[in-house]
Structure 1
Amino acid sequence: MKELTERFFVAQFGSELPIWAKSAVAMANILVILAIAWVFMSFSSRLLRALNRRVVSQQADQEERKRLDTLIRVVRYIASVVIGAITIMLVLSEMGISIAPILATAGVAGLAVGFGAQSLVKDYFTGFVMLLENQIRLGDAVEVGGKTGIVEEVTLRYVRLRDLEGAVHYVPNGVIATVTNRSREFAFALVDIAVSYGERLDRAEAVIRRVGTEMRGSEAFASRILDDLEIMGVEQWADAAVMVRCRFKVAGSEQGPIRREFLRRLKNAFDQEGIEIPFPSRAVSAKNSS
């Protein structure tokens, strides 16, 4: 484009262009660059908006729609920044300003800012990756950055959790090395049951299995317990009891409520069957010094 414009003016004014003609060539090229940049910016924006409407509208889950919408907004912002940066460099080049010193200065400034804001950059990068990989969603029971709770908000900057006591934790994405998500598809409610050494294990296990079957068959837990109770066997010989380990396959985030209800029902069943629930005891003797 630049060569075509110069050839036109050379044909009109000869081999040596006047100053105003050179300025006109530069201005024409700048206008062409700006027009092309506007076309690319408009096209990319419309394309991403259409993609956003098409992809997001196909998702029934509200939180999945929010995640995809956030990702597409980030991509649109990055595309705008890239197109804008290229446009500025081309315009400066047409104005006769060497961009090499500017790039060098920008590189040094970028390093200085990068060292000062590296934690912030890390937060945003990690947040983008977590959103892209769908590691965390609203309502999930997770452990991140040493904090455990229910996810209330996920942004590019932080994850907001609320724990069992109601405390709210803001965990910067940059400090998250491992995400433990207890809400994906299914989980296991693990229960260790203490049985007295004087009880027959097969009798105790029969009661445990019966309570588990009754609980799964109840209307309140039919959709929350996904499989029959699994008795895994003797876990250890403790000081005062034999520890029998069992577990339920449950829907995500249901481990705690199901474990507590199972222990409540099992206590009543053990009482009815006369099965002793052991507890640590200590014998104290007094010596007569006389």
Structure 2
Amino acid sequence: MLNRETLFILSLLIAGAGVLAWLLHWLIGLGQRRWVRRVQPQETSLRRLLIDWISNALRTLVWTSYLLFVINLIPRVRDNFKDIEFRLQAWRAGWYDWVLNQGVTLLVTIVVTIFLMRFASALIRTIFALFEYRAVSRGETTAKRRSQTLSNIFRGIAQSVIFFIGLMKVLQQLGIDVTPILASAGVVGIAVGFGAQSLIKDLFGGFMILLEDQYNVGDTVKIGETTGTVERMMLRSTQIRALDGSLTTIPNGTIATVANLSKDWARVVLDIEVDYQEDADRVAQIMLATAQTLREERPDEFNEAPVSMGIERLTPSSLVVRLTAKTPPQKQADVARELRRRIKLAFDQAGVRAPVREQFILTEPPPKRSTA
């Protein structure tokens, strides 16, 4: 039995060692954060990964040392561990041979598998981080989001493949026949493939949409009969918010044709109908001058100078004159509305008439009544 004084001293030693271990743990974390701040965002993440590994190893060493200190400090605990040590000595002979023959190889396989998983993840993250840095430097936020999504997908695939191969090697070294496992996995894979064809098709379609950068969140697209803004993109489906507020979810596997209305640039196409008797050149000049004035006032809403395309078509009572203007993405609707308003005001000032729909109704006179 421990007397009160000895117990008090042991408690102080354990508490003091615990405070020291906690202080060392905090100092290691502080040093880790400082080293991470020195790593620039465009540098490879392998250096950050190494810093994390070293910090975690040091923390583990600190708390392991504290645990061993406590075990050796308390006599009763030390005696119990001595009993366990005697029992382990009886098993040591058999385990020694197993460790030399298979244990080392098994340990190396596990370590190599973990290292390859972490290395592949860091390598893929580093490669896509370079694309993200270039995208950020050019102000392409959508490209950054796409790069992050693809990075997560590729990292997950690479780690899953490496883990599966490592698991098979470990089972082989433990003397387990992996042939039935591989055969069963193949049968299950075929069954899942047949049963979830639609899901696999949707996932593959979503992956190709991201890889080819067909559209991103915030783009205005037309998919089939649905037109609206892409509100959410997932590997399985795409959600589009229409102008009336309705939210449409479209499985990616069913998307055959996509019209991206906000990719790189857009174009305003105005077809203005005027009276057939109006001077077409005069009308086109008024429209072009109005568009050029708007461009001078709002240069950020135009990529190029407006262009008058002339007469687009003729009808029995009107002329249709076309004007085009190249704008930034998703600006074409605002520019078109403002151009229509200003062209209408310009036509009123210039006396340009709108077409008048005239209808002539021809009727036959009533038949004359016979006087006979």
Alignment partners' CA distance in 2, 1:112 and 1:225: 55
Aligned partner (choices 137, 140, 153) of residue 219 of structure 2: 140
Contact 1:145 1:175 in 2 (8 A): no
1:45 and 2:121 aligned: yes
Q: Provide the alpha-carbon RMSD of the alignment.
A: 2.5
How many equivalent residue pairs?
A: 271
Counterpart of 1:259, as a letter, is A
Match 1:56 to one of 123, 128, 132 = 132
Q: What is residue 13 of structure 1 aligned with on the other side?
A: none
For 1:19 and 1:31, the matched residues in 2 are separated by 14
- For 1:277, the aligned partner's letter is A
Give the drift of 1:87.
Answer: 1.2
Counterpart amino acid of residue 234 in structure 1: I
SS at match of 2:114: helix
- Equivalent position of 1:204 in the other structure: 283
C-alpha separation in 1, matches of 2:255 and 2:107 = 47
User: What amino acid is aligned across from residue 83 of structure 1 in structure 2?
Assistant: I
Of the candidates 177, 186, 205, which is equivalent to residue 256 of structure 2? 177
Once residues 104 and 85 of structure 1 are traced to their aligned partners in structure 2, the CA distance between those partners, rounded to angstroms, is: 14
1:123 aligned partner: 202
Report if the CA contact (8 A) 1:191-1:259 is conserved.
Answer: yes
Please tell me whether residue 256 in structure 1 is matched to residue 339 in structure 2: no
Q: Contact 1:161–1:169 at 8 Å: present in 2 too?
A: yes
SS in structure 2 at match of 1:223: helix
> Is the Cα contact below 8 Å between 1:189 and 1:256 reproduced in 2?
yes
Q: Does 1:36 align with 2:112?
A: yes
Residues of 1 paired with 2:251 and 2:100: CA distance?
52
Distance 1:234 1:107 in 2: 65
The separation in 2 between residues aligned to 1:280 and 1:40, in whole angstroms, is: 77
Q: Which moved more, 1:98-107 or 1:114-123?
A: 98-107
Give the conservation status (yes or no) of the 8 Å contact 1:136–1:154: no
2:313 is paired with a residue whose SS is strand
Deviation at 1:197, TM superposition (A): 1.4
Match of 2:350 in 1: 273
Q: Equivalent residue for 2:167?
A: 88
* Alpha-carbon spacing, 1:88–1:277, altered in 2? closer, same or farther (3 Å): same
Cα-to-partner distance string for 1:12-33 (whole Å, 9 max, x where unaligned): xxxxxx9995797344433322
**3-state secondary structure, aligned to 1:161:** strand
Q: CA separation of 1:55/1:125 partners in 2, compared to 1, >3 Å: closer, same or farther?
A: same
Q: 1:215 aligns with which of 279, 294, 298?
A: 294
Equivalent AA in structure 1 for residue 186 of structure 2:
G
How big is the shift at 1:49?
4.1
Q: Secondary structure at the match of 1:84?
A: helix
- Aligned with residue 72 of structure 1, among 121, 130, 151: 151
Tell me how far apart the structure 2 counterparts of residues 112 and 71 of structure 1 sit (CA, whole Å). Answer: 27
Partner of 1:152: 231
Bigger Rg, which one: 2
Alpha-carbon spacing, 1:41–1:237, altered in 2? closer, same or farther (3 Å): same
Q: Is the 8 A contact 1:159 1:171 kept in 2?
A: yes
Structure 2 spans left out of the alignment, 5+ residues: 1-93, 368-372
- What letter corresponds to residue 268 of structure 1 in structure 2? L
By relative contact order (CA 8 Å, sep 6+), the higher-ranking structure is 1
Could you tell me how far apart the structure 2 residues matched to 1:248 and 1:125 are? 38
Query: Quick check: 2:307–2:323 contact (8 Å CA) kept in 1?
Result: yes
- In 2, Cα distance between the equivalents of 1:53 and 1:234? 51
Question: Any gaps of 5 or more consecutive residues in structure 1?
Answer: 1-17
Query: Residues of 1 paired with 2:280 and 2:202: CA distance?
Result: 53
Indicate the SS of the match to 2:218.
coil
- Structure 1 37/133 Cα, relative in aligned 2: closer, same or farther at 3 Å? same
Q: For each residue in 1:205-230, what CA deviation from the matched residue of structure 2 results, as whole angstroms up to 9, or x when unmatched?
A: 22112212222122xx3211222221
Aligned-partner SS, 1:243: strand
Paired with 1:27 and 1:199, the residues of 2 have a C-alpha distance of: 95
Q: 1:109 aligns with which of 181, 185, 188?
A: 188
Equivalent AA in structure 2 for residue 63 of structure 1: T
Q: What whole-Å deviation, never above 9, does each CA across 1:106-163 have from its counterpart, x for those lacking one?
A: 2221111112212222222222222222221222111224421112222222222211
SS at match of 2:299: coil
- Contact 2:280–2:311, Cα closer than 8 Å, also in 1: no
| CA shift for structure 1 position 276 | 1.2
Structure 1 or 2: more helix by fraction: 2
Indicate how the Cα distance of structure 1 residues 132 and 246 shifts in structure 2: closer, same or farther if over 3 A, else same.
same
- Mapped partners of 2:110, 2:239: distance in 1: 42
Q: Superposition pairs for residues 237-252 of structure 1, below 5 Å? A: 237-252=314-329
